Structure 1
Amino acid sequence: MKPSWLFRETLRRFVLPSGKLLLLALGLNTALSVVSTASIAIVEPVLRVLFGHAPAPAPAPPTDFLGRLKATLFETVAAWVFVPSPEATLLRLGGFVFGLFLLKNLLKYASALVGVQLEEGIVKRLRDALVQRLVRLSVDYFAQQRTGELMSVVTNDVAVLNSHLVGAPLTLVREGLQAVLFLGILVLLSWELTLVAVGASLISLVLIRTATRYLRRYGMRMQAAMANYTAILQELLSAIRVVKAFSAESRMADAFARETSSYVRSAVKHQRVLALLPGINELVAIGALILVLVIGGYWVFSGRMQPHELLTFLFCFFALMAPVTAVLHVISQLQRGLVAAERIFRILGQEPSVRSGHRPVAGFRHELRVERLCFAYRPGVPVLEDVSFVLRKGEKLAIVGASGSGKSTLLDLLIRFYDPTEGRILLDGIDIRELRLEEYRALFGIVPQDAPLFNDTVANNIRFGAPEASLEEVIRAARLANAHEFIMELPRGYETLIGDRGVLLSGGQRQRIAIARALVRNPAILLFDEATSSLDTESERLVQQAIDRALEGRSAIIVAHRLSTITGADHILVLDRGRIVEQGTHTELLARNGLYARLWSLQFADTPLPTTHGQLED
């Protein structure tokens, strides 16, 4: 992405929507620049009083434009400030200077308040836009990204963009205008000395152009290292039990330390270049100042220039260094901001691979049909091949098979987390790719193997898929899920906070909350993806009771590893290496003495049996 495009897009999409606040901030900063310049320029009449030059009109009025402009400007100020008594003039000047600095600080305070409202509003808009985009991207995008890196973009990169790019326009306006005003005063005082000073300072431009390449390179490394250590931290905290169980604390801490060391190295190199710029720029400016002092001093000695004019020139030229340094600093810092902007817009430019259709969903009336379905995560490595079946309304369909046979992938396709590479899925004769995605997914209630819960109350976790559900509806769903009794034993019942990912609950309790969450939205089709596979015997019994109760009068697709839980299914599909190798009822499949019968025997018999394809799941 080109830096100019990134800068324009940031302004257009995130800065310009705060148009009124931006105009107010620009106005206040413009006024602040004018008053700041005036607070330095006021030194000219002070020096004139001290050097004894009365505001009498010049004996030979200047004929050139700049000379006439200078005479008009300074004589207007002098006529307002000067009185016959030098002492009274100094007092009046003192009052004027105090008023200028009072106004300057009031403007600085107001511009700071408006500036923080503007910048924080832009940061909020950026983060909201990123999250809005992320939640609408398809599941395959997240499968290819590290969660910590995405978190780093939303937090760290947005903060860097704000401090190095978003605030740049205001700083450039304020300091740039101030520099232009000071430059104008210098030209009025002596365009020849101004030309000498500016010419001597051109070396700074060459320096900046060379430095920006290195600043951008090191800025990219800093942002990448920041994303890496954020990702490691996220993985470490989310899997802290695994880390401790395998005594991997030191290994994970060392990995984090390596990334922070990489960040420090890049930051030091970045700062090495960045810190060099102000020093060299100041030396160049001092060199120009000395050159002006020498040339101007000769002109004072020869009568070509008045002493107070040379001192005013030197004051203003010295004051010019601060805004010029600020502008140069902003330009050098822009490189890191552009790197952050590039990472942000890379996410904002992503499009979901699974797109919503436009046809409304009329509900689940007759059947969900799968026709010759094929799918591969990577080209040439099929996960599902030529899968066809029908789920009729009111039926319970079970899917069994060895690990890696494609059971969970098939569920992901049914709820359109992915689209098939070949074949199609039809809801009452309509290809689901033509249907509105949100309405289609609302037909399903999903209970995964490891049901993620949120750090919220029990009630809010249950009503997550149906925010409008009343407490009565929540309790009804909890009763169906066999969860009401243990919920009422919690310290605050349904208002109890359950901790990050539900860590304050047992595995069986979490699964029953997940079943209640699926039921509260009254889904047309329930999907159970090995909902009891990781539970102990007692928890499995309670969860299985909840599942049996939930299935009454509903359509359902059940992926199971324990075959005893699906013996009552209307139809069972047996998957092996991505293909349906058998299908029928439990009795029919046992009678065929095929793969299903061998899987059944492995679970319920002590005698050795022939090995099947794949490795069975625990």
Structure 2
Amino acid sequence: MRRSGELASPSPLTPAPSQPASQRRSDWGTLRRLLPYLWQYRWRVFAALLFMVVAKLANVSVPLVLKELVDAMTPSRGQLPTGGDATAVAMAVVAVPVALLVGYGLLRLSTSLFTELRELVFSKATQGAARSIALQTFQHLHSLSLRFHLERQTGGMTRDIERGVRGIESLISYSLYSVVPTLIEVGLVLGILAVKFDIWFVWITAAALVVYVGFTVSVTEWRTKFRREANEFDSAAHTKAVDSLLNYETVKYFNNEGFEARRYDQSLELLRRSRLKSQTTLSMLNTGQQLVIAIALVAMLWRATQGVAEGRMTLGDLVMINAFMIQLYIPLNFLGVLYREIKQSLTDLDKMFTLMEREREVADKPGAQPLTGQEHPAVRFEHVTFGYEPARVILHDLSFEVPAGKTVAVVGPSGSGKSTLARLLFRFYDVQQGRITIAGQDIREVTQASVRRSIGIVPQDTVLFNDTIEYNIAYGRAGASRAEVEAAARAARIHDFIESTPRGYQTMVGERGLKLSGGEKQRVAIARTLLKDPPILIFDEATSALDSANERAIQAELRSAAQNKTALVIAHRLSTVVDAHEILVMDGGRIIERGTHLQLLARGGRYAAMWALQQKES
């Protein structure tokens, strides 16, 4: 029986694939998706291919020169020098090998030189493509709806992006630098063997290559599921770790370090098992590859040895064939790794492309124009009906107006839909029925950027960047001067606190601003919004984390900031909205009362009851 207070043991972690197998694009589809990014550097691609071909020609020429060198150093039978010919022969023996040795060295140098030139020329294309794709993914994630970001798993998603960017480099490196050069070299070697020797050498080499490649591809395809499974478990484990660390305080509050460790360890155990399967099958693959190579090499050398014994071939031919086989099979040794890595890179890249192609729930209409008339904009909600899920409607046929330069307050119990108004006004979601207008323009008909530029918000739950206080305040308006940042901080009544810290405005606020108290974070958010100075202001419980003295002082500043601006105030404390031009009382997604503070008190309805209760509590 479980002891009191003990949490249930976590259930086995089964990663959910980010994309159904039926919808996963083919490898060729992923390559086609990548090509436009590389095509921007097409001259570099062509130059890299040229250097690669030259490098392989030099590499294949090395065994040919080595053969000539060996033959030059091997006197023919019965033709050993005698008498006066000895001096001439000795000079020839010295001159010919020196020339061949120099040529041999130059070819070796050329192979390395053109290989490095290929990598140097193409590295800009590789890094440029990786940068473009990573940036587009980042921008697209910011353009996705709030619903996506509320449902995402941050740790797993960042892992997918990281592997996708790395996959671009791996894919290009392994394909252009390993697979394609090996195929070129195989073609050249088979051609040389066919021209210089009998067809058996070609058949043995070709048969070995077919068996080798077929075995490698089939086993690697079988092994891919283990690698994919390991990646899924890796992402899941990373998600759990990041989520737990972000909620460090909650873990401590409930003394659940052991519980979190068990959850993480269970993820790591599943990851360990997957990686062991992957390693076991890799050993099987490597053993099979070496068996094919050994049989082919023995068959080729046996055939060449026979030719030397029968006088049809020279020792140089034997050395050349051996060198060709070594040059061919060394890169082929890594074919399984290359194929697996290429397949994995394509899978990782496909995941990132899937993120890039995630449909935007809220998107600008084609040809949408920026919002106009922002000097004194009025905000209207006209018969708005909205629900986050079809089966759960939050707002029911809601209509009200925030006149230009006026302040309208919305009050009501939790869950009545107050904060949803701010999300809809920012167009994080689109309404199902009705419309929302700013300065008479439906916000669905204009650009989202212009709508959000015209609105400033002080949210109830303030989240800050893990940077300095100055950075977080200046985030309200890019390019703001230090003097403007300090003026905003004074207006938010936080300047004195900042100056009292050892590092002043360079004080780091920590992850999500957790080094600051709730009130300090809220004042930073107020300063940030005051610095933005937009024509429309939203205060969503803007002073809920402040003490009474600071709340009264900042309320005066907020009233001053809201002068001649269109302001929507969402509040729980009724004392903060008594000066509003109109107060809306919401319940269950409907407006049940509206009027000024005095009018609502005189009516003796829900607002009056809430006021009386809060006055009694205070």
Give the alignment's TM-score, normalised by structure 2. 0.87
User: What residue in structure 1 maps to residue 28 of structure 2?
Assistant: 4
1:152 and 1:503 map into 2 onto residues whose CA distance is 25
Cα gap change, 1:180 to 1:538, in 2 (>3 Å): farther
1:295 Cα deviation (Å)? 3.4
2:140 and 2:129 map into 1 onto residues whose CA distance is 16
2:240 and 2:127 map into 1 onto residues whose CA distance is 28
User: What residue in structure 1 maps to residue 177 of structure 2?
Assistant: 170
* Residue identity in the other structure for 1:23: F
1:544 and 1:231 map into 2 onto residues whose CA distance is 41
Q: Deviations over 1:396-433 (max 9, x none)?
A: 11111222211111110011111001111122322111
Between the two proteins, the alignment pairs up a number of residues equal to 580
Question: Structure 2 matches for 1:169-568, cutoff 5 A?
Answer: 169-190=176-197, 191-357=199-365, 358-364=368-374, 365=376, 367-568=378-579
Secondary structure, counterpart of 1:465 in structure 2: coil
Question: Structure 2 matches for 1:75-154, cutoff 5 A?
Answer: 85-114=92-121, 116-154=123-161
2:257 and 2:182 map into 1 onto residues whose CA distance is 50
Secondary structure, counterpart of 1:532 in structure 2: coil
* Residue identity in the other structure for 1:176: L
Q: Deviations over 1:235-286 (max 9, x none)?
A: 2222211111221222223322322333333233233334433332221121
Secondary structure, counterpart of 2:155 in structure 1: helix
Cα gap change, 1:273 to 1:384, in 2 (>3 Å): same
1:440 Cα deviation (Å)? 1.5
1:545 Cα deviation (Å)? 4.3
2:576 and 2:284 map into 1 onto residues whose CA distance is 71
Instruction: Work out which of the residue numbers 22, 26, 29 in structure 1 matches 2:49.
Output: 26
Cα gap change, 1:213 to 1:580, in 2 (>3 Å): farther
1:340 Cα deviation (Å)? 0.3
497-506 vs 34-43, which moves further? 497-506
Secondary structure, counterpart of 1:372 in structure 2: strand
2:283 and 2:458 map into 1 onto residues whose CA distance is 56
Q: Deviations over 1:480-506 (max 9, x none)?
A: 222333233333444444333333433
Cα gap change, 1:262 to 1:247, in 2 (>3 Å): same
Secondary structure, counterpart of 2:337 in structure 1: helix
Secondary structure, counterpart of 1:559 in structure 2: strand
Question: Structure 2 matches for 1:29-48, cutoff 5 A?
Answer: 29-48=52-71
Cα gap change, 1:271 to 1:116, in 2 (>3 Å): farther
Q: Deviations over 1:44-90 (max 9, x none)?
A: 11221243259x9xxxxxxxxxxxxxxxxxxxxxxxxx996223322
Structure 2 residues not aligned, in runs of 5+:
1-24, 80-88
Q: Is the 8 A contact 2:126 2:168 kept in 1?
A: no
* Residue identity in the other structure for 2:59: S
Secondary structure, counterpart of 1:426 in structure 2: strand
Structure 1 residues not aligned, in runs of 5+:
57-81, 608-618
1:543 and 1:151 map into 2 onto residues whose CA distance is 39
Q: Deviations over 1:267-323 (max 9, x none)?
A: 332333344333322211211122223334344444444443234223312321123
* Residue identity in the other structure for 1:342: D
1:165 Cα deviation (Å)? 5.2
Q: Deviations over 1:178-201 (max 9, x none)?
A: 232233332233232221232244
1:509 Cα deviation (Å)? 2.1
Secondary structure, counterpart of 2:479 in structure 1: coil
* Residue identity in the other structure for 1:360: P
User: What residue in structure 2 maps to residue 569 of structure 1?
Assistant: 580
Secondary structure, counterpart of 1:526 in structure 2: strand
Instruction: Work out which of the residue numbers 603, 609, 615 in structure 2 matches 1:592.
Output: 603
1:328 Cα deviation (Å)? 4.7
Give the alignment's TM-score, normalised by structure 1. 0.87
Secondary structure, counterpart of 1:433 in structure 2: coil
Secondary structure, counterpart of 2:434 in structure 1: strand
* Residue identity in the other structure for 1:215: R
1:537 Cα deviation (Å)? 4.3
Q: Is the 8 A contact 2:460 2:540 kept in 1?
A: yes
Percent of aligned pairs sharing the same letter: 31
Q: Deviations over 1:520-548 (max 9, x none)?
A: 22211110111233444455445434433
